Amino acid sequence: MSAPVSPSHPRIVVGLSGGVDSAVAALLLQRAGWEVHGLFMSNWDEDDAYCTAAADFQDARRCCEILDIPLHRVSFAAEYRERVFAAFLAAQRAGRTPNPDVLCNREIKFGVCLEHARRLGATAFATGHYARRANAADGPQLLKARDLAKDQSYFLHAIERASLAATHFPLGELGKAEVRHLARATGLPVHDKPDSTGICFIGERPFREFLAGWLPSRPGPIETADGQRLGEHRGIAFYTLGQRGGLEIGGRAGFEERPWYVAAKDPARDALVVVQDHDHPLLLSRGLLTETAHWLIEPPGTAFDAQVKVRYRQPDQAARIEPLADGRLRVSFAQPQRAVTPGQSCVLYDGDRCLGGAVIDATVPVAGDLAGVRAA
C-alpha cells in the first residue's frame, strides 16, 4: 500500500529513462518541494546487443540514490506490443511511414504509465520532455519549449487533455546546456550521457535490419516517373518519401550522375517511384487530408488559419485548416511542402500553443486536386 501523501508536499512520479533530461526533471521537482518518486519503465522485452535497458536502469538507479528518492520499476511490454507496435507494423505493411513515438506517448507514457503513477499515490506525473504546460480558462494548454531547437511538443500532441492536466514538464523553460550544467553541478553521473536518437522501441539498431525480422520481404520494381524500370527494391516498407540513398540503383545509361530520391509508393503493385530532382513536382504537395483529428482545444467547427508541422524539427508552415464533418482535416499549405508522408503526423499550432493534430492520410499533389490525392 502506498504511503499517505503530505498535503504540503504532494507526491509526483517522474518517468526516468536513465538519461540526463529526466534526471534533471526529478531534481527540479525535488527543489520545488515535491515528494518525488522515480519510475523506470520497460517497453520492449528483447535482450540483444542494441538493447540498453539494463544499463539505463542502472543509470536511473544511481541518480535516484544521489537525489535520495525511491525508484520503482515496471514493464509495459505487453501493452506496448498491443497498443503501439501492432499499429506500427500494420502501417508499415500498408506502405506508410508511421511515427510510433507519438502513439507511445499517448498510449504508454501518458496512458498506462500515468495510471501506474496514480496507483503509487501520485497526484501528478512528470517527464523530461522539452515542452511547457499552462493552465487557462479553457483547460490545460500544451506549449512549445522555450528552446525551440529542443521542442518536443510535436510528439505530445496526441495525448489526452485529462492526461495533460496531470502532467508537468520541468525542462520547458531550459536549454540543453543548462540541463547538463545542473546535472554536472549536482553530481549526477549522466550529465554527459549522449542523447538517445533512436525510435522508441528500435533504439539505435539499424532500422532495416530490425524491420526485416518482422515483415516479409516483398520485392518490386524501382521505376522512374514515366515507368522506366531501374532496378528492384526489397519491399516498399523499407523506404520513405524523400529518402536519398539506400536504393542501390547505381549509374544508369541515359541518366545524369545525380542522386535519386523516393518520390512515391504504389502499394497495389509494390512499386517504388524515384526521381533525380530534389524538388521534383512528385515530391511536392500543396495540401493533405488527415485521419480523425485529436484536439487539445475545443474542436473548431469552421475553417481557420494556423501553422503546421508535417515532420519533427520542421519550421512552422502557414496553412488553412478545414475541419470535415467526419472528424478529419483538409489542410492547404500557403507554400508547397516537400516529401509530405502518409503515416506521419500533421501537428497544428497557434504561435507557441499546440492545438492538436492528426495522422496524414493522403497528400494533394501540386498539379492536382483532392480527386487525385496520394495515399502513400
Whether residue 51 lies in the annotated active site: no
Question: Considering 63, 64, 113, 200, which one is annotated as catalytic?
Answer: 200
Distances in whole angstroms, Cα of residue 67 to Cα of each of 64, 71, 129, 151, 353: 5, 11, 20, 26, 33
What the block records as the C-alpha cell of 180 is: 547538463
Question: Considering 63, 64, 104, 346, which one is annotated as catalytic?
Answer: 104
Whether residue 104 lies in the annotated active site: yes
Report the greatest alpha carbon distance in the chain. 76
Quickly count: other Cβ atoms within 10 Å of residue 28's Cβ: 21
Q: Which of 169, 165, 157, 164 is nearest to 355 (CA)?
A: 157
| Cα(222)–Cα(265) distance, integer angstroms | 10
Positions marked active-site = 104, 200
